[in-house]
Amino acid sequence: MSQSTTFSQRVNELFFGVDISNKSASLLDSLLSIPQLHHSDNGVRQWNLNVAMEMKSDKAWSSRHQFSFSESPLPDLQIEMGTIEVTLGETDSVKKLLNLNWHVQFSDKVSATKYFDKLKQLFGDLATKKKFEKDKDIGNIAQFSTRNPVDTGVRDITLFLGKSPMTNKYQVSLMLGTEFMDE
Which range, 1-5, 19-23, 174-178, is most confident?
A: 174-178
Quote the CA–CA distance of 104 and 114 in Å, as a whole number.
Answer: 12
Q: How many CB atoms lie within 10 A of CB 144?
A: 26
Q: Is 79 helix (H, G, I), strand (E, B) or coil?
A: coil
Task: Name the pLDDT band for 1 (thresholds 50, 70, 90).
Answer: very low
Q: What is the pLDDT of residue 21?
A: 84
Q: Helices (H), strands (E): how many in the chain?
A: 4, 8
The residue ranking higher by pLDDT, 44 or 142, is: 142
Residue 114 scores a pLDDT above 90:
yes
Q: What's the pTM value of the predicted model, to 2 decimals? A: 0.86
| 177 vs 144, more confident | 144
State yes or no: pLDDT of 31 exceeds 90: yes
Q: Is the pLDDT of residue 151 over 60?
A: yes
pLDDT at 2: 44
pLDDT for residue 43: 64
Mean pLDDT calculated for residue range 66-74: 95
For residue 12, CA distances in Å to 133, 154, 158, 176 come to: 24, 9, 14, 12
| Residues whose CB falls within 8 Å of the CB of residue 2, separated by 6 or more in sequence, listed in order | none
Mean pLDDT computed over 128-149: 93
Residues of the chain with pLDDT > 70, as a percent, come to 92
How far are the Cα atoms of 13, 48, 84, 157, 178 from residue 127, in angstroms, in the given order? 16, 37, 23, 10, 12
What's the confidence (pLDDT) of residue 89? Answer: 84
d(CA 43, CA 84): 13
Q: Cα dist. 66→4, 38, 73, 83, 126 in Å?
A: 32, 8, 17, 7, 29
